Amino acid sequence: MSVGGEWYLTLAAALFTIGAVGVLVRRNVLVMFMCVELMLNAVNLTFVTFARMLNDIGGQSLVFFVLVVAAAEVVVGLGIIVAIFRRRVGATADDLHLLKG
């Protein structure tokens, strides 16, 4: 008994929705950053599910590139977040104007 692709797509849609709501509602930069990563993982799950359903390797190769972009995002994003938190301890998403110089 195996789980059908519809369940994976439903899970991916739920994860993406949770991530999108988290980005739109929360003001904490770290929580917003984690919600973006959750949305990227939901997209990866969708790519892998379609690759499995269509017996095609293309979706899995796209997941590789999304993971590379996500790793670069983590490096740049965490650098920006650390720069914000060094200037102000209780920083929110509205404090990005501090980086203008």
pLDDT confidence of residue 2: 83
Three-class SS of residue 26?
coil
pLDDT confidence of residue 100: 67
CA distance 10 to 33: 23
Q: What is the CATH number for 92?
A: 1.10.287.3510
Question: How many domains does the chain contain in total?
Answer: 1
Q: What is the 3-state secondary structure (H, E, C) of 70-95?
A: HHHHHHHHHHHHHHHHHHCCCCCHHH
Three-class SS of residue 61?
helix
Domain, as residue range, for 23: 5-100
**pLDDT of the chain along its 101 residues, tens only?**
788 889 999 999 999 999 999 999 988 888 888 999 999 999 999 999 999 999 999 888 999 999 999 999 889 988 888 887 787 777 677 766 666 66
